[in-house]
Amino acid sequence: MASFDPREVAVRCAHFIGGRSRDARAELEVFRPSDGGFQSGLPCASADLVDEVVEGTWRAWKASDWASRPPRERARVMRRWADLVEADGAVLGPLEAVGSTRPLREVLAWDIPYVAEGIRFFAEFADKHGGEVAATATSHLGLQITEPYGVVGAIAPWNFPLSMAGWKIAPALAAGNAVVIKPSELTPFSILRLAELATLAGLPAGILSVVQGDGRVTGDALCRHPRIGKVTFTGSTGTGTAIMTACAESGPKPVTLELGGKSPQLVFADAPDLARTARSVAAAITGNAGQVCVSGSRLLVQRAALEPMLEGIRAAFVDLRPGPTWSAAATLSPIISQRQGQRIQDIVTRSQAAGAEILVGGALEEGLGGAYYQPTLITGVGADNPAVGEEIFGPVLTVQVFDDEAEALALADHPTYGLAAGVHTADLGRALRLTRALEAGTVWVNRYGRSHDWIIPTGGYKRSGIGKDLGRAAYEATLRSKSVLIDLEHS
Ligand code: NAD
């Protein structure tokens, strides 16, 4: 299956409560990014409904043995869920692609297997994670044990709807928690199927709930609910701040925040293969049309490599074909909404007004229905240019030139963000010096972007986040720690 007809994809205007979809009155509208067409209405859970759902999820969790059953049996359910997800491309694929910026081809080859394998990865921790015996006097036994929080509140963004939901749900469930998740109101549909498959796999009914709605009403109510033990969020830095405030005002409650980025790609003249590096740099800003938290949106290039890099990037950019997520021929994704497309244009226009030169692109494509932004290359910018300072979340790459390592490091440093960075050099010593010196939660050397190594955690420095997704750290973050001291002389 390489393409589909968007009119034939049936979506439900529903929440997922008590182990099944619950249809509800539409209050919001959802449009397809690919052609701007109306897809469906969407309910918006009020604070009262969020209260009902969180209480119901907590009661279902208490009534079930999910947290107390042998961990290997919990893992078995998770693995069954992963198998169902992996086998569900025919339904899940179009459902994900129709309402998001993810091309069907990539959803089938990447997103779905990635989510399934991520679920399996976290399932493996269930019976392999233990506590500690503390160094107490021999008259006592001191234990440090871990326990689930209860109900974890999760809030997800729109850029990779299924994978981001998987990052949030899988570790929390594997560790024995229940989860109430609110997907983005722009991409709300595929997650209903993900939840349905979890129930089919044997997850106790009611311990995974989906509430639909916007951030201001539904998301805020979820964060503030007293039964929510912890909040895990992926989205923008501004929203992360609002969520942390809500969690402080209603708690305090612990938070994991995966936030925005403005990640640099540092290319030295001795990079192993400049043509390959140029393709890699271009892919790191055009993948999902730049709507990736770790997009390499700032190219920092050593003067001697400038021309070959610009040439290679330009060639890669002009090769891309914008088109709907359901077209097998398209190689450039739409922007999620017209509003976001205009926001990108606004930053590019302000960047130009501040003295930048647009080498390639710089405009929205016309006549395609959806918002498609041309891959754009901007030079003549300093740290104070809007295109360098602001997270654009589109296929827009700024270029700055450096002469030596110290200058590269100074340019790489961003006042707000520290999510990821890439270093391209054949000099291992330099690569190691820079991986230490760069203020970023992830540094890639001679590559850019995540691999399928779920064991490597991801998370930001500075205002790019608090805590980690993926890896052992993500599993541990869904557990709280209890200290136990037993008097052996009187036991
Ligand atoms: P967003 O912050 O606008 O929205 C994210 C989610 O938060 C949505 O579900 C939204 O409804 C909800 N929300 C909004 N206001 C809220 C509030 N006051 N209280 C509770 N919930 C609220 O982000 P987005 O536009 O959906 O996604 C793009 C952003 O996500 C970018 O900044 C990107 O860098 C970031 N992101 C980060 C990572 C990471 O791993 N660090 C991964 C993906 C995306």
Mean pLDDT of the chain: 97
**Any ligand 1 atom below 6 A from CB of 262:** no
- Domain membership of residue 85 (yes or no) is yes
Q: What span, in angstroms and rounded, lies between the C-alpha atoms of 269 and 276?
A: 13
Among 123, 179, 180, 175, smallest CA distance to 145 is for 175
Same domain, 16 and 108: yes
Same domain, 335 and 235: no
- Domain membership of residue 460 (yes or no) is no
Measured in Å, residue 198 CA sits from the centre of ligand 1 at: 24
258: annotated active-site residue: yes
Q: How far apart are the first and last CA of the chain?
A: 65
The DSSP secondary structure of 77-144, one letter per residue, reads: HHHHHHHHHHTTHHHHHHHHHHHSS--HHHIIIIIHHHHHHHHHHHHTTTTT---EEE---TTEEEEE
Domain holding 125: CATH number?
Answer: 3.40.605.10
**Any ligand 1 atom below 6 A from CB of 88:** no
Determine if residue 394 is left, alpha or beta; phi over 0 gives left, psi from -120 to 50 gives alpha, anything else beta: beta
Instruction: Report, as ranges of residue numbers, the positions in the chain whose pLDDT lies below 50.
Output: none
Same domain, 336 and 363: yes
Q: Which residues contact 274 (CB under 8 A, 6 or more apart)?
A: 267, 305, 308, 309, 312
Q: What span, in angstroms and rounded, lies between the C-alpha atoms of 418 and 412?
A: 9
Q: What is the per-residue pLDDT for 479?
A: 98
- Tell which one of 239, 262, 292 to mutate to probe ligand 1, the residue whose CB is within 8 A of the most ligand atoms: 239
Same domain, 279 and 250: no
Determine if residue 18 is left, alpha or beta; phi over 0 gives left, psi from -120 to 50 gives alpha, anything else beta: left
**Any ligand 1 atom below 6 A from CB of 156:** yes
State the total domains in the chain. 2
Q: What span, in angstroms and rounded, lies between the C-alpha atoms of 440 and 464?
A: 9
Measured in Å, residue 476 CA sits from the centre of ligand 1 at: 23
- Domain membership of residue 488 (yes or no) is no
Measured in Å, residue 332 CA sits from the centre of ligand 1 at: 22
Q: What is the per-residue pLDDT for 3?
A: 83
What is the residue whose two structure tokens read 């891959």? 375
Same domain, 83 and 189: yes
Burial (CB count <10 Å: 0-12, 13-18, 19+), residue 30: buried
Query: What confidence tens digit (pLDDT) does each residue in 84-131 have?
Result: 999 999 999 999 999 999 999 999 999 999 999 999 999 999 999 999
Q: What span, in angstroms and rounded, lies between the C-alpha atoms of 337 and 139?
A: 65
Same domain, 341 and 208: no
**Any ligand 1 atom below 6 A from CB of 158:** yes
Measured in Å, residue 344 CA sits from the centre of ligand 1 at: 17
Domain limits for position 368: 264-452
Same domain, 253 and 143: yes
Helix (H) or strand (E) holding 484: strand 479-487
In this structure, the residue with its CA closest to atom 32 of ligand 1 is 236
Query: What confidence tens digit (pLDDT) does each residue in 25-38 have?
Result: 999 999 999 999 99
Same domain, 211 and 125: yes
- Domain membership of residue 490 (yes or no) is no
- Domain membership of residue 273 (yes or no) is yes
Same domain, 272 and 194: no
Among 219, 229, 223, smallest CA distance to 244 is for 223
**Any ligand 1 atom below 6 A from CB of 219:** yes
- Domain membership of residue 151 (yes or no) is yes
Same domain, 96 and 239: yes
Strand partners, 442: 420
**Any ligand 1 atom below 6 A from CB of 393:** yes
- Domain membership of residue 142 (yes or no) is yes
Q: What is the per-residue pLDDT for 106?
A: 97
Q: What is the per-residue pLDDT for 1?
A: 59
Q: What is the pTM of this model?
A: 0.97
Same domain, 164 and 311: no
Answer positive or negative: Cα dihedral of 341, 415, 436, 432. positive
Domain holding 345: CATH number?
Answer: 3.40.309.10
Same domain, 345 and 433: yes
